[in-house]
A and B are shown apart, each in its own frame.
Chain A
Amino acid sequence: MGDVSLKKTVLMILGLVVLSLVLTGCGKEQPVLYVYNWGDYIDESILEEFEKETGIKVVYDTFSTNEDMYVKIKSGGSTYDVVFPSDYMVTRMINEGMLLKIDLEKIPNRVHIDPKLMGADYDPKNEYTLPYMWGTLGILYNTTMVEGEVDSWDVLWDARYAKNILMLDSQRDSIGAALLKLGYSINTKDPQELAEAAELLKQQKPLVLAYVVDEGKDKMVAGEAALALTWSGEAMYAIGENPDLSYAIPKEGTNLWFDVMAIPKGAKNIEGAHKFMDFLNRPEIALRNAEYTGYSTPNLAAWEMLPEEVRNDPRAYPSEEVLANTEVFVSLGETLKEYDRIWTEVKAF
């Protein structure tokens, strides 16, 4: 009997100790920052450094398309403090009241960002976003399989490369390439211009090997196709893996794109979000990210520290004349349905 009560007492004391430990743990609650970024788009050791320096725990999730991210934020099931949408998605999110204004005063390192990459159409006063990475849409090609110089969108319609062309399974980008070849705006809402682009894409279809997304760069690295419509960051990665590859920005002009940092509505740690954005804009941190991802950084101070051959590579950091001939995607609203219809028509053709 005595034995049993002793056991009980010991258990109770143990219970109390455990409880008190749990409670004190709760007392000193560690602040948490929820970050939602593209897959493989940051040097993850930077997150640890941020945690060490600020004591804020970072919970890091990734997405693979803007649309996935949009649906997840919109449905409201999960809260994030920092998200990384692309330009046209920013317009849509701002229009739908999904982003909070940022306080630029709390991000002193913003001064390092290239002024010519600030204030783009999707957020003219940078009230909601700061650029994270940027780049162009262009043509990745295999120099051993393509004759002559690649400098025009026409090459993607060249019958010599039949079944050697990879297009993007992304409505805006592939329709965009056709519109650029025709000399129209990539944001056109004119049904006539869109019909011409659709016709062009249908003509191109017999030449296309496949419409791909992520697997495109691996196919190019493996020498499975001669030409691919792709984004500059992906292209620079592929070139690093296979030196036979190169990237061209066609002379007709192209799309200039941005992936940005923003704070979604419903964020719980707004203070931490600003700290994180400031941290990512520190020149040495931005440099590490640029080197890790191979994407082009908008951070001038980081750019200056890059190795010369990267810094002066016109494929990753095109000249001002080339940039002058570019256009940023804007959200199309209802016209997007028309793009979808065209794209379905091309692919069901």
Chain B
Amino acid sequence: MKRLSLTPYVIWMVLFTVVPMLLVLYYAFTVPTEGGTTWSLENFTRFFQPIYLRVFIRSLNLAVISTLICLLLGYPAAMIMAGNAFKRKHVIMLLFVVPMWMNFLLRTYAWLTILERNGFLNSLLTFFSLPRVNILYTNGAVVLGMVYNFLPFMVLPIYSVLSKIDKGVVEAAGDLGANPFQVFIKVILPLSLPGVVSGITMVFMPAMTTFVISRLLGGGQFTLIGNLIEQQFLVVGDWGFGSAISVVMIVVILLSMAVMSFFEGEEKDVALW
């Protein structure tokens, strides 16, 4: 009976996860030849040329920076929300979540109008007689777009872990003579690590593969790995190379998750996933 109820999920997983993955692997490891295809590593060796490696390193760089900023902004926010000091935590929660109900593309386009030369930000700065800034179409704008879009993915898992920490443990630490800083470092932080790990993974992965943010806010000047993949499928029609890049990305993400789970410790049951 239990098996039977699992069947629809198994079918779903096979159709939409396993089969597509196998197809991606198939395309990645084959190259078209006269009248057929042959197995080859050509797509991968091509990826390790300097120009593509440079794209990869740039993506990694921006994704790491964005993830760190999200963590630095998100952790305190999650702590405030989980703490007792703030009564209307549901309001803050709602304010974090509501923007996500709006279309992602629309929100990114809005930044385009805010940041442009004669845009909202510069009008505001001029009004207060401050120097104007040109951030649109820079790496900074891309990072800003990523942080803005992915911050909730950092805050929510950390919040969900923090709010489940037994208050008694924190009080006990205080009673036993730890100052607030020690309480944080020795008790709260270690207990919240699973949430931090979830948050980092949930921000890092989309940040590493986004192509819309870098195109709109970076003005297409900063090709990221996501742009490269999109280009292979839609413009060049080189599915093999596109799939190979995707496989490399999957490996990178698996590796980073392995490193993460190493830090995650035993409190696995608290993590979101």
Contact B235 A67 (CB under 8 A): yes
Contact A209 B222 (CB under 8 A): no
Contact B233 A205 (CB under 8 A): no
A19 close to chain B: CB less than 8 A: no
B186 close to chain A: CB less than 8 A: no
Contact B54 A212 (CB under 8 A): no
CB distance from A221 to the nearest CB of B (A): 11
Chain A residues near B233: list those with CB within 8 A: 71
Interface flags, A185-212, vs B, CB<8A=1, else 0: 0000000000000000000010011111
A40 close to chain B: CB less than 8 A: no
CA distance A340 to B220 in the complex (A): 14
Given the known A-B contacts A171-B235, A222-B116, are A209 and B55 also in contact in the complex, defined by CB atoms under 8 Å?
no
Q: Select one of B58, B219, B223, B228 contacting A212, CB under 8 A.
A: B219
Given the known A-B contacts A223-B118, A341-B51, are A347 and B234 also in contact in the complex, defined by CB atoms under 8 Å?
no
Chain A residues near B54: list those with CB within 8 A: 348
B231 close to chain A: CB less than 8 A: yes
**CB-based nearest B residue for A166:** B219
**CB-based nearest A residue for B223:** A347
Interface flags, B38-65, vs A, CB<8A=1, else 0: 0000000000000110110010000000
A54 close to chain B: CB less than 8 A: no
Interface flags, A328-349, vs B, CB<8A=1, else 0: 0000000011001101110110
A311 close to chain B: CB less than 8 A: no
Interface residues in B117-158 (C-beta closer than 8 Å to A): 117-118, 134, 136-137
CA distance A343 to B236 in the complex (A): 11
Q: Which residue, A65, A70, A215, has most C-beta atoms of chain B within 10 A?
A: A215
Q: Select one of B51, B137, B237 contacting A209, CB under 8 A.
A: B137
Interface residues in B50-98 (C-beta closer than 8 Å to A): 51-52, 54-55, 58
Contact B112 A344 (CB under 8 A): no
Q: Chain B: how many interface residues by the 8 Å CB criterion?
A: 30
Chain B residues near A71: list those with CB within 8 A: 233-234
Q: Chain A: how many interface residues by the 8 Å CB criterion?
A: 28
Chain A residues near B112: list those with CB within 8 A: 215
Q: Select one of B58, B116, B134, B216 contacting A348, CB under 8 A.
A: B58
Given the known A-B contacts A71-B234, A169-B215, A210-B219, are A224 and B228 also in contact in the complex, defined by CB atoms under 8 Å?
no
Q: Select one of B58, B134, B221, B234 contacting A205, CB under 8 A.
A: B221
Chain B residues near A68: list those with CB within 8 A: 234
Interface flags, A48-76, vs B, CB<8A=1, else 0: 00000000000000000101101100000
Q: Select one of B116, B118, B219, B238 contacting A340, CB under 8 A.
A: B238
CA distance A337 to B236 in the complex (A): 6
CA distance A70 to B134 in the complex (A): 38
CA distance A61 to B85 in the complex (A): 54
Given the known A-B contacts A67-B235, A71-B233, A337-B238, are A344 and B219 also in contact in the complex, defined by CB atoms under 8 Å?
no
**CB-based nearest A residue for B117:** A224
Contact A344 B118 (CB under 8 A): no
Contact A344 B235 (CB under 8 A): no
Q: List 18 A-B contacts (CB under 8 A).
A: A65-B234, A67-B235, A67-B237, A163-B134, A209-B219, A210-B218, A211-B221, A212-B219, A215-B112, A222-B116, A222-B118, A224-B116, A340-B238, A341-B51, A344-B55, A344-B228, A345-B51, A347-B223
Residues of A within 8 A of B (CB): 65, 67-68, 70-71, 163, 169, 171, 205, 208-212, 215, 219, 222-224, 336-337, 340-341, 343-345, 347-348
Known: A222-B118, A344-B228, A348-B223. 5 other contacts (CB 8 A): A67-B237, A169-B220, A215-B112, A345-B51, A348-B52
